[in-house]
Structure 1
């Protein structure tokens, strides 16, 4: 990514990434930190987040970690305030944390649905609200959300709760972008397709994953770095006139018609 952006493209900027301890989130943290940002990981798995942050600090990067259960509005507010006060600014907030235990539709109970909606859909609202004072202070900012193709565009068995939350996320992105545009706060999202992460293990064994990869027009599963690159673009000056949008990053998986001849 250094060949695309200057090494100091985000120098001095404070970036908060939820769910940044592993997978896509960790790739996002690493990408922004390598471009000069001062990054904070907010994650419910604090020991894992601290280990990830330390590994990046050992490379000379500026990364911190804090504990945050994204289902708890109070913890969200405290986390955002802590980051803002530490850096006296907050430039980019990225909600990447997600909750999606594979569960048959008939087995989804109220508690599971509530936590799914709290982490995936409600958390972006509370993150944005908590970040507003800091972004207003600097005259603008960038809010980004990891959405999904599941829900807004396709369905997957066992993920009805997740699909509903991500469809809602896309609605949030558009509505928040409209209301915050006058304050120069941009709101966008990325819709990952099948990405090679620890969560992929929930969807099947290696043979299943190979079959999924073979069905993608570009011939492979996505990597966490593919999503991180999209996030960096949307937070960069190159996307200064883009707001209220979601960018599909799926290797072309949604392009073929199901019944099209091969």
Structure 2
């Protein structure tokens, strides 16, 4: 039996929701019926649309607490409520720890840990005052669960984000649920910068047990579930969305047939 999740009447904010994974999340929420507000420092090249509906865009620098507070005040004033916050904005360049200096690594931590904290605190002020509360979804990464050479500050920030979500889930229960999606590799419009041409992307996909990289829609579907009443008893959880994870290197290194 098919199960349809209906988020009609709810208002969702997706940070960094203008491209890649964020746009996939915004589209999935639109398809489920939610009113969606995306934000980033710069407007998208084209609107994020799905199911004949368009996500609203508002500019904000998530590293500026005053701007973040004003952004959520505007969401409240214009939409009357906030039911879902998806903390998706983040990322990092490839940079070994010995390169670039502490300041650059600190900015990665600021974007991937402190900015979601700032946004969530502002969103909580809206959610805790409304009937039904709300739900927060952190977009984490497998980089926060294993060594992450070349993106160590990013991995450390994502590990901290997961722990932060668990603490929020305890402090704010039962009114606000907080969970983390732990992402593996996702195919986006920037995948070629990391993996090369289509053959390279396919080769990387074959290292994943399910045989492919995730699509942004896969992440969006998981967000819709966690935002819905179907997940009403799920809080403080970390849900891996990584296609089975990474194949252990020893399986390929071993000489014994398996």
TM-score by length of 2: 0.90
Matches of 1:77 and 1:109 in 2, distance apart?
31
Matches of 1:144 and 1:151 in 2, distance apart?
16
Matches of 1:71 and 1:144 in 2, distance apart?
18
Question: Paired residue for 1:21?
Answer: 18
Matches of 2:245 and 2:118 in 1, distance apart?
32
Among candidates 171, 179, 189, match of residue 179 of structure 1: 171
Q: How many residues align?
A: 250
Question: Paired residue for 1:129?
Answer: 121
* Structure 1 position 150 matched with structure 2 position 143: yes
Aligned partner of residue 93 in structure 1, secondary structure: strand
Measured at CA, do residues 11 and 62 of structure 1 come closer, stay the same or move farther in structure 2, by a change above 3 Å?
A: farther
Please state how far the C-alpha of 1:203 moved relative to its aligned partner: 2.5
Task: Give the root-mean-square deviation of aligned CA atoms.
Answer: 1.8
Please state how far the C-alpha of 1:47 moved relative to its aligned partner: 4.1
Q: More deviation in 186-195 or 196-205?
A: 196-205
Please state how far the C-alpha of 1:52 moved relative to its aligned partner: 2.1
* Structure 1 position 190 matched with structure 2 position 208: no
Measured at CA, do residues 208 and 60 of structure 1 come closer, stay the same or move farther in structure 2, by a change above 3 Å?
A: closer
Q: After the TM superposition, which segments of 4 or more aligned residues of structure 1 sit over 4 Å from their partners?
A: none
Question: Paired residue for 2:73?
Answer: 81
Structure 1: runs of 5+ lacking an equivalent = none
Matches of 1:93 and 1:244 in 2, distance apart?
15
Whichever structure has more helix as a proportion of its residues is 1
Matches of 1:74 and 1:46 in 2, distance apart?
20
Among candidates 32, 37, 60, match of residue 34 of structure 2: 37
Please state how far the C-alpha of 1:69 moved relative to its aligned partner: 1.5
Matches of 1:82 and 1:13 in 2, distance apart?
16
TM-score by length of 1: 0.89
Render the CA deviation track for 1:111-146: whole Å, top value 9, x for unaligned: 322221121101221112111222122231001111
